[in-house]
């Protein structure tokens, strides 16, 4: 293949939005740059494979040797430096998590690992220095399977059949991605079968060039100019208008992928406006650094988050500068020398790759086995970081499923042998407050059911985009239908999360109402309002009590405070009260309006005592109130027992006198 400077420039168009997005400086949809990289990779790799297959020179060993020569040196350098930093700066639980991701990255499975652990737009992502290697995992899995598939197709069928089958694979992958986006958005984002169509888009374009399609060979100059400009716009516009709330990838990824394909297709002559722009020296220079820049920028950003807790504009600019310096050094002194076949033979590349992989796997497994070297931390603080130590002893009542509900496996808590008259329903926040609710119920001589599950919100006719319908809502409706003795439904949820789709550890989550009108504004608040109205209307003879919610933020997370302590940062052990007030303002008016508009809905705040005028405290004396940034510890929940007692006393005035 002849060198095409416009493709190096296209790499710049891909990597710069990603880096600026991660540093918080620009491009809210900059993550689409990764999709552009996929198209470029598919095009270049398939072009080389077709050339070798056409000349009868294809060799699996040589292909993997070239990939190892291209990918491993800079990757190993980044892993070594990032691992050293993690060992020095990270707490033991974060170091253990890093070690696991390091092993996954080394064995080409980073995307699968992060799929099993977390989403891309979450608070946890900011503490994962290797999260960005998920895209390398997708590419490496493509490199493992596609050459063999292409070789088999080319050997046993015609070029047309190969092209047709590749197109069918691409369409099937896209269709599966669109479907999976509504079932599991994480799977659609991370797993290779839902990303393959992006790489195959580049592969199909390479096949078109190889077969010398007239549409690519004889494109009129004006059409080529327009196509190039349209392709550039199809990439740039999504970087400006997409955000973490955009359902992605799926159909939303079509624009940047087709834009990249259009730029490659129109730029072959090098004479179009877009090709000349992409071929500018600065564009090609950054493009040549793009792989190293992509590798180094995210660990730099993560360690800045780790050190400061957030990124200011000045810190983001500093991260950008450091990333470019590391990228240049990596390109100049790591990538470039290893590409020299005189200095590094094929044998040296294979031996070096095998040795490097073995070292990083061994180091990762060792740190994993040693639990992240906890001896570096105070044992008392370390014990405090384990949330399991601060959960109540009735966790068996949580994690309600449709199957459990249908089987009648629903906990009754409070006074034994009493007929349950109420139900506490909601997500993990409801489970966390349950010691206070049911402790007060026991004192008053009453009992209730607990119907809670992780992330469950009793919003009738509402679903979370990208999450599979577990049938839990239908099971809850059936549960109420079958138990007329339940006269009160107490609802507790992470309201800030549902109303905004964003918290300190979430971003971009969307709840859609069955009557969704396509509006891109206020869809979450509308879904909450309609879902609760619909539920109250479905059971007009029941009373629904909406509780307020716990203050939340990383400053209420013990592990975050331990990170601060390890880095000798003096912090207030708690969340500023003004932040809690801002959080309440986001959801409280909605809950109050529901209580005013719907006769059988009431709103009752019970969490206000957790904060004074200055701080929502992490500790009350020596008692840890929060087990993490938005869940009460069981002792913290008991601090709210008087408020719960007052609530139930109003609901059940004929209950026996309290025994506090």
- Checking if the pLDDT of 118 tops 70, the result is no
Token representation of residue 547: 């509780």
Beta carbons of 481 and 446 less than 8 angstroms apart: no
Query: In whole angstroms, what is the distance from residue 453 CA to residue 423 CA?
Result: 13
Check: CB of residue 111 under 8 Å from CB of residue 134: yes
Residues 278-333: pLDDT tens digits? 999 999 999 999 999 999 999 999 999 888 877 899 999 999 999 999 999 999 99
d(CA 378, CA 148): 52
Asked if 594 and 529 touch (Cβ cutoff 8 Å), the reply is yes
For residue 102, which of 372, 354, 361, 370 has the smallest C-alpha distance? 361
> pTM of the predicted model, to two decimals?
0.82
For residue 309, what pLDDT is reported? 74
- Between 566 and 590, whose confidence is greater? 590
**653, pLDDT greater than 50:** yes
SS3 labels along 323-344 = HHHHHHHHHHHHHHHHHCCCCC
Tens digits of per-residue pLDDT, 568-616? 665 667 899 999 999 999 999 999 999 999 999 999 999 988 999 899 9
Domains of the chain with CATH codes = 5-374 (no CATH), 387-651 (3.40.50.1110)
Say which residues have a Cβ less than 8 Å from residue 38's Cβ, sequence separation at least 6.
Answer: 135, 138, 139, 195, 198, 199, 201, 202, 257
Looking up tokens 């070096």, which residue turns up?
352
Does pLDDT of 418 surpass 60?
yes
C-alpha 217/C-alpha 215 separation (Å) is 6
| Mean pLDDT (whole number) for 459-487 | 90
Q: Kindly state the percentage of the chain with pLDDT values over 90.
A: 68
Q: Identify the pLDDT of residue 136.
A: 96
Q: Which residues contact 467 (CB under 8 A, 6 or more apart)?
A: 183, 184, 185, 455
- Using only the alpha carbons of the chain, give its radius of gyration: 28
pLDDT at residue 188, as a whole number: 92
- Residue 521 has a pLDDT of 63
pLDDT band at 660 (very low <50, low <70, confident <90, very high): very low
Helices (H), ranges, 486-544: 495-500, 523-538
State mean pLDDT over 224-248. 93
Mean pLDDT of 631-657: 86
- The mean pLDDT value for 446-458 works out to 95
Q: Treating both helix axes as pointing N-terminal to C-terminal, what angle do 5-22 and 281-308 enclose, rounded to 10 degrees?
A: 20
pLDDT score for 198: 97
What integer pLDDT is reported at residue 568 of this predicted model?
Answer: 66
Lowest-pLDDT choice from 24-28, 113-117, 307-311: 307-311
Q: Report pLDDT digits (tens) over 165-212.
A: 999 999 999 999 999 988 888 899 999 999 999 999 999 999 988 877
- pLDDT at residue 378 is higher than 90: no
Residues 6+ apart with CB under 8 A from 555: 561, 571, 572, 574, 575, 576, 618, 629
Average pLDDT in the chain:
90
Mean pLDDT of 624-651: 91
Residues present in the chain in total: 660
Q: What is the pLDDT of residue 49?
A: 92
Q: How far apart are CA 495 and CA 497, in angstroms?
A: 5
Tell me how crowded residue 144 is: count the other CB atoms within 10 A of its CB: 13
Tens-digit pLDDT profile for residues 128-154: 999 999 999 999 999 999 999 999 988
Across the strands, what pairs with 447? 414
More confident residue, 472 or 387: 472
> What integer pLDDT is reported at residue 311 of this predicted model?
87
> Helix 5-22 to helix 221-241 angle, to the nearest 10 degrees?
10
Is the pLDDT assigned to residue 267 strictly greater than 90?
no
SS3 for 513?
strand
pLDDT of residue 126: 81
Per-residue pLDDT tens over the stretch 276-291: 999 999 999 999 999 9
Please calculate the CA angle 404-406-410 and round it to the nearest 5 degrees. Answer: 50
The confidence band for 376, taking pLDDT boundaries of 50, 70 and 90, is confident
Beta strands in 474-584 (DSSP E): 488-492, 511-513, 543-547, 574-576
What pLDDT is recorded for position 1? 64
* Of 523 and 632, the one with more pLDDT: 632
Angle at 505 between CA 502 and CA 507, to 5 degrees: 35
| First-to-final CA distance of the chain | 81
Instruction: Please determine, for residue 657, whether its predicted confidence score (pLDDT) is greater than 50.
Output: no
């Amino acid at each position: 293949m002849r060198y095409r400077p416009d493709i190096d420039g296209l790499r710049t168009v891909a990597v710069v939005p990603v880096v600026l997005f991660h540093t918080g400086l620009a491009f809210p949809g900059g993550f689409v740059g990764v999709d552009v990289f996929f198209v470029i990779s598919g095009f270049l790799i398939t072009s080389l494979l077709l050339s070798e297959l056409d000349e009868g020179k294809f060799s699996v060993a040589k292909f993997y040797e070239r990939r190892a020569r291209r990918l491993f040196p800079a990757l190993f350098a980044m892993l070594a430096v990032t691992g050293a930093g993690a060992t020095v700066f990270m707490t033991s639980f974060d170091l253990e998590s890093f070690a696991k991701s390091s092993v996954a990255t080394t064995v080409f499975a980073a995307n699968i690992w992060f799929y099993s652990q977390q989403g891309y737009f979450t608070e946890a992502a900011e503490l994962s220095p290797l999260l960005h290697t998920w895209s390398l995992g997708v590419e490496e899995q493509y490199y493992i399977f596609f050459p063999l598939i292409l070789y088999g197709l080319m050997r046993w069928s015609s070029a047309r059949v190969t092209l047709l089958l590749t197109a069918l694979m691409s369409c099937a992958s896209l269709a599966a991605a669109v479907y999976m986006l509504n079932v599991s958005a994480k799977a659609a984002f991370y797993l290779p079968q839902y990303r393959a169509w992006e790489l195959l888009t580049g592969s199909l374009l390479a096949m078109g060039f190889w077969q010398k399609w007239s549409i690519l060979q004889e494109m009129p100059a004006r059409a080529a100019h327009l196509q190039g400009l349209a392709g550039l716009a199809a990439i740039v516009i999504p970087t400006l208008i997409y955000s973490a709330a955009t359902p992605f990838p799926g159909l939303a990824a079509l624009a940047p992928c087709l834009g990249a394909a259009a730029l490659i297709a129109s730029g072959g002559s090098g004479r179009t406006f877009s090709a000349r722009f992409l071929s500018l020296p600065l564009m090609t220079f950054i493009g040549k650094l793009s792989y190293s820049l992509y590798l180094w920028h995210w660990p730099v950003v993560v360690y800045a988050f780790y050190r400061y807790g957030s990124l200011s504009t000045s810190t983001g600019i500093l991260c950008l500068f450091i990333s470019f310096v590391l990228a240049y050094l990596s390109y100049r002194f790591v990538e470039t020398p290893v590409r020299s076949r005189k200095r590094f033979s094929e044998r040296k590349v294979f031996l070096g790759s095998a040795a490097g992989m073995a070292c990083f796997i061994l180091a990762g497994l060792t740190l994993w086995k040693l639990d992240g070297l906890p001896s570096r931390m105070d044992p008392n603080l370390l014990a405090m970081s384990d949330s399991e130590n601060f959960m109540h002893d009735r966790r068996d009542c949580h994690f309600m499923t449709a199957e459990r509900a249908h089987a009648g496996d629903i906990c009754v808590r409070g006074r034994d042998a009493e007929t349950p008259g109420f139900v506490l329903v909601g997500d993990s926040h409801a489970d966390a407050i349950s010691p206070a609710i049911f402790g007060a119920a026991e004192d008053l001589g009453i009992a209730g059911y607990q119907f809670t599950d992780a992330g469950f919100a009793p919003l009738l006719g509402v679903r979370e985009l990208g999450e599979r319908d577990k049938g839990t809502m239908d099971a809850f409706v059936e549960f109420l239908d079958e138990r007329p003795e339940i006269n009160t439904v107490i609802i507790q949820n992470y309201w800030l999360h549902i109303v905004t789709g964003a918290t300190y550890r979430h971003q971009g989550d969307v709840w859609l109402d069955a009557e969704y009108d396509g509006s891109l504004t206020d869809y979450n608040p509308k879904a909450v309002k309609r879902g609760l109205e619909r539920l109250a209307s479905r059971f007009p003879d029941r009373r629904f009590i909406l509780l307020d919610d716990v203050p939340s933020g990383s400053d209420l997370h013990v592990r975050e405070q331990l990170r601060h302590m390890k880095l000798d940062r003096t912090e207030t052990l708690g969340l500023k009260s003004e932040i809690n007030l801002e959080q309440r303002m986001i959801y409280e008016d909605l809950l109050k309006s529901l209580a005013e508009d719907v006769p059988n809905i009431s709103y009752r705040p019970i969490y206000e005592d957790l904060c004074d005028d200055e701080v929502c405290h992490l500790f009350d004396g020596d008692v840890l109130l929060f087990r993490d940034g938005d869940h009460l510890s069981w002792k913290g929940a008991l601090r709210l027992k008087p408020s719960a007692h007052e609530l139930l006393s109003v609901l059940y005035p004929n209950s026996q006198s309290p025994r506090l």
